[in-house]
Amino acid sequence: MTAPARRWARWGKVGLGILLLGGTAAAASGYYSYTQSYGYNLGRLDVQVAYGANGCSGDYPMWMGITNGGTRTLDDVSVFLVGKRAGYSSVERREDYQSDRIIEPGQSYEACWSVTTPIPGVFQSSDRAPTHDALEWEVSQVRWARFR
């Protein structure tokens, strides 16, 4: 191979390396931007819950308010609730809710939800666990949220 051909081959490899490095950096930057945006919006998602509040009763006694304080539209969300006796840390009841209500940035959605019928010995710490209305309810975890 002649000297000019070797030079072009070497610079071609260097150019290819620069292109690969630049493409990797651009992809990482886009992923970082996406995850930062998701975390930002998820951190501004406010979920409040109360049993028998705001006119919720009968078959739909669990009130939940979801506020989207982020900059992207919320498409759907899954929330995990726990009920505890006043003054205790043990979880007596668990409820899992999903909503596909579309909530624009700065908007809120409130609804009354049904609760599961307790099965003795399952999903509670004892067979004589208190009823839903005797517990203090809180959001344990926003399991997932999808923004657009």
> pLDDT at position 19, please?
63
The more confidently predicted of residues 29 and 96 is 96
Q: For the residues of 51-113, what is the DSSP string, one character each?
A: ET-TT-BTTB-EEEEEEE-SSS-EEEEEEEEEEE-TT--SEEEEEEEEE---B-TT-EEEEEE
**pLDDT higher than 80, residue 41:** no
Fold of 45-147: Immunoglobulin-like (2.60.40)
CA–CA dist 34, 28 (Å, integer):
10
Report pLDDT for 49.
92
pLDDT recorded at residue 144: 81
Q: Is the pLDDT of residue 75 over 60?
A: yes
Q: Where are the domains of the chain?
A: 1-43, 45-147
76-122: per-residue pLDDT in tens? 999 999 999 889 998 888 889 999 999 999 999 999 999 876 655 55
